[in-house]
């Protein structure tokens, strides 16, 4: 079927009697969740994330990994038992509603960030007094690498990343000890800046930015057009809905 829009996708899930996902490996398994949301029973291989994501074996029907004969048996089992198809389909819908609500997911992510931040504030910094600091060349080279990476991501590094480019010419290549506490502090600061900037450009800031962090809307639009056209359309669509209201 190739790439289809959300309406066609929903219709396809709804029209099927069962959903087969004999994937050899999944870090999550979104398609299985989508099928379950449409009250369709799912058949999956017993590997990686799929068993836990589909709450197998009670909901997702487990098949021995890479076993075509067992897959055939599972398909025939659901073909011959309409009650079992309905039971697993209804259970799948219930599981999705209780465990995969997108708003609850966002709240959990934010809660995780906040708990990590709170834990960091409570760390006794005195225990790091005797930790050796990386040498100047090491810090310089690490900052240079972070700036180069940022340029590759955004074509041109935003102002909030200029702190990593304090050298007229690239520093000499130096081995970096990534286990060092102070090195990890620099990388954590970089990650925070990256997270804050991304929060800014998707028009849902997690904080109130200062004036020098505000990004020109045209540049944001161009960035989204290049890297996240779908996200840009969502922003336009939400603005249109707001005006209609």
Per DSSP, 21 falls in state E
> For residue 63, what pLDDT band results from cuts at 50, 70 and 90?
very high
Rounded-to-integer distance, Cα 24 and Cα 60, Å: 16
Considering the domain architecture, whether residues 28 and 57 belong to the same structural domain is answered as: yes
pTM comes to 0.51
Specify whether the CB–CB gap between 186 and 143 falls below 8 A.
yes
- Give residue 125's pLDDT: 62
> For residue 149, what pLDDT band results from cuts at 50, 70 and 90?
confident
Q: Averaging pLDDT over each range in 12-26, 122-136, 199-213, which range is the top one? A: 12-26
On whether residue 43 sits in a domain, the answer given is yes
- Give residue 221's pLDDT: 60
pLDDT in tens, 75-129: 999 999 999 999 999 999 999 999 998 888 888 888 888 888 777 767 666 665 6
Residue 96 or residue 223, greater confidence:
96
Considering the domain architecture, whether residues 31 and 85 belong to the same structural domain is answered as: yes
- CATH code of residue 22: 3.40.50.2000
Q: Could you say which of 78, 100, 122 is where a domain stops?
A: 100
- Give residue 64's pLDDT: 95
Residue-averaged pLDDT of the chain: 81
CA pseudo-torsion sign 219, 225, 230, 232: positive
> For residue 212, what pLDDT band results from cuts at 50, 70 and 90?
very low
Rounded-to-integer distance, Cα 35 and Cα 197, Å: 34
- Residue range(s) defining the domain that contains residue 57: 6-100
CA atoms within 13 A on the CB side of 44: 30
On whether residue 203 sits in a domain, the answer given is yes
On whether residue 220 sits in a domain, the answer given is no
Q: Averaging pLDDT over each range in 64-68, 210-214, 221-225, 236-240, which range is the top one? A: 64-68
pLDDT beyond 80 at 189: yes
Residue 148 phi, psi (nearest 5): -60, -45
Q: Where are the alpha helices (DSSP H) in the chain?
A: 6-15, 30-37, 50-53, 68-80, 82-99, 102-121, 136-154, 181-201, 217-227, 229-244
Mean pLDDT within 35-62: 95
Q: Could you say which of 100, 131, 148 is where a domain stops?
A: 100
Rounded-to-integer distance, Cα 87 and Cα 217, Å: 50
Considering the domain architecture, whether residues 53 and 83 belong to the same structural domain is answered as: yes
């Amino acid at each position: 079927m190739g790439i289809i829009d959300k309406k066609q996708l929903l219709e396809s899930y709804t029209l099927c009697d069962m959903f087969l996902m004999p994937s050899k490996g999944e870090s999550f398994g979104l398609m299985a969740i989508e099928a379950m949301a449409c009250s369709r029973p799912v058949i999956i291989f017993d590997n990686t994330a799929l068993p836990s994501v589909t709450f197998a074996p009670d909901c997702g029907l487990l098949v021995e990994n890479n076993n075509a004969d067992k897959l055939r048996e599972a398909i025939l089992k659901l073909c011959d038992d309409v009650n079992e198809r309905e039971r697993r389909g209804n259970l799948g819908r219930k599981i999705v509603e209780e465990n995969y609500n997108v708003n609850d997911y966002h709240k959990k992510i934010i809660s995780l960030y906040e708990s990590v931040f709170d834990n960091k504030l409570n760390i006794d910094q005195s225990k790091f007094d005797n930790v050796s600091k990386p040498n100047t060349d090491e810090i310089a080279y690490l900052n240079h690498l972070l700036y180069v990476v940022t340029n590759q991501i955004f074509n041109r590094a935003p102002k909030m990343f200029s702190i990593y480019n304090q050298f007229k010419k690239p520093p000499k290549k130096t081995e970096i000890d990534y286990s060092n506490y102070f090195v990890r502090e620099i990388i954590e600061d970089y990650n925070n800046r990256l997270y804050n900037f991304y929060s800014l450009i998707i028009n849902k800031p997690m904080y109130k930015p200062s004036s020098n962090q505000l990004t020109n809307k045209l540049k944001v639009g161009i960035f989204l057009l290049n890297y996240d056209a779908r996200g840009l359309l969502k922003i336009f669509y939400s603005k249109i809905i707001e005006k209609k209201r």
